[in-house]
Amino acid sequence: MHEIPKNHPRYKSLIFREKLVQGFRDGYVAIQGLIAHGRGECFDYLIGEKTLEPAIKSMKAAIAALLLAEKPVISVNGNIAALTPAEIVELADEVNAAIEVNLFYRTEDRAEKIAKILYEYGAKEVLGIKDATATIPELHSERRRVSPKGILKADVVLVPLEDGDRTEALRKLGKTVIAIDLNPLSRTARAANITIVDNVIRAMPKMIELAKEMKSLNKNELQSILNNYRNEEVLAEIINQIILRLTKLSSNVKTLVINP
Amino acid sequence: MHEIPKNHPRYKSLIFREKLVQGFRDGYVAIQGLIAHGRGECFDYLIGEKTLEPAIKSMKAAIAALLLAEKPVISVNGNIAALTPAEIVELADEVNAAIEVNLFYRTEDRAEKIAKILYEYGAKEVLGIKDATATIPELHSERRRVSPKGILKADVVLVPLEDGDRTEALRKLGKTVIAIDLNPLSRTARAANITIVDNVIRAMPKMIELAKEMKSLNKNELQSILNNYRNEEVLAEIINQIILRLTKLSSNVKTLVINP
ipTM of the predicted structure?
0.73
C-alpha B234/C-alpha B231 separation (Å) is 5
Interval B28-66: pLDDT, tens: 999 888 988 988 988 998 898 999 999 999 999 999 999
Is the pLDDT at A8 greater than 50? The verdict is: yes
Which pLDDT value is given to residue A85?
97
Is the pLDDT at B167 greater than 80? The verdict is: yes
B171: nearest CB among A17, A172, A258: A258
Interval A170-191: pLDDT, tens: 999 999 999 999 999 888 999 9
Percent share of chain A, pLDDT over 70: 95
CB A102 within 8 A of CB A76: yes
Which is nearest to A43 in space by CA: B50, B188, B39, B35?
B39
Is the pLDDT at B247 greater than 90? The verdict is: no
Task: Name which residue leads in pLDDT, B100 or A7.
Answer: B100
What are the chain A neighbours of B142 within 8 Å (beta carbons)?
A: none
Query: Is B231's CB within 8 Å of A36's CB?
Result: no
Which pLDDT value is given to residue A138?
66
Residue B231: pLDDT band with limits 50, 70, 90: very high
Which pLDDT value is given to residue B138?
66
The DSSP annotation for A25-68 comes to HTT-S-HHHHHHHHHHHHHHHHHTSS--HHHHHHHHHHHHHHHH
What are the chain B neighbours of A255 within 8 Å (beta carbons)?
A: 190-191, 231-232, 235
Query: Is B38's CB within 8 Å of A34's CB?
Result: yes
Is the pLDDT at A63 greater than 70? The verdict is: yes
CB under 8 Å to B92, separation ≥6 — which residues? B74, B98, B99, B123
Q: What is the DSSP letter of B259?
A: -
Is the pLDDT at A234 greater than 50? The verdict is: yes
C-alpha B147/C-alpha A17 separation (Å) is 29
Which pLDDT value is given to residue A121?
97
- To the nearest whole Å, the CA of B228 is away from the closest chain A CA by 16
Task: Name which residue leads in pLDDT, B245 or A258.
Answer: B245
Burial tier of B3 (Cβ tally within 10 Å: 0-12, 13-18, 19+): exposed
Which pLDDT value is given to residue B166?
87
Which pLDDT value is given to residue A141?
64
Residue A110: pLDDT band with limits 50, 70, 90: very high
Average predicted confidence (pLDDT) for chain B: 91
Is the pLDDT at A166 greater than 80? The verdict is: yes
Average predicted confidence (pLDDT) for chain A: 91
CB B134 within 8 A of CB B147: yes
Is the pLDDT at A1 greater than 70? The verdict is: no
- Partner B, chain A 138-197, Cβ-Cβ below 8 Å: 168, 171-172, 174, 183-185, 190-192
Is the pLDDT at A79 greater than 70? The verdict is: yes
Which pLDDT value is given to residue A137?
80
Is the pLDDT at A122 greater than 70? The verdict is: yes
Among B128-137, B146-155, B177-186, B218-227, whose mean pLDDT is lowest?
Answer: B128-137
Average pLDDT over residues B130-153: 84
- Which residue in A has a C-alpha nearest to residue B242's C-alpha? A246
Which pLDDT value is given to residue A105?
79
C-alpha B198/C-alpha B162 separation (Å) is 13
Chain A with chain B: Cβ pairs closer than 8 A: 133
Strands B134-135 and B145-146: antiparallel
Residue A106: pLDDT band with limits 50, 70, 90: confident
Which pLDDT value is given to residue B1?
44
Which pLDDT value is given to residue B250?
77
Residue A149: pLDDT band with limits 50, 70, 90: very high
Which pLDDT value is given to residue A41?
87
A238-to-A177, B155, B251, B256 alpha-carbon distances in Å: 19, 43, 13, 18
Among A237-251, B128-142, B207-221, whose mean pLDDT is lowest?
Answer: B128-142
Is the pLDDT at B2 greater than 60? The verdict is: no
- Which residue in B has a C-alpha nearest to residue A168's C-alpha? B256
Among A130-139, A177-186, B186-195, whose mean pLDDT is lowest?
Answer: A130-139
Residue A156: pLDDT band with limits 50, 70, 90: very high
B43-to-A46, A139, A154, B78, B184 alpha-carbon distances in Å: 10, 29, 37, 20, 9
Average pLDDT over residues A142-154: 89
Interface membership of A1 toward B (CB under 8 Å) = no
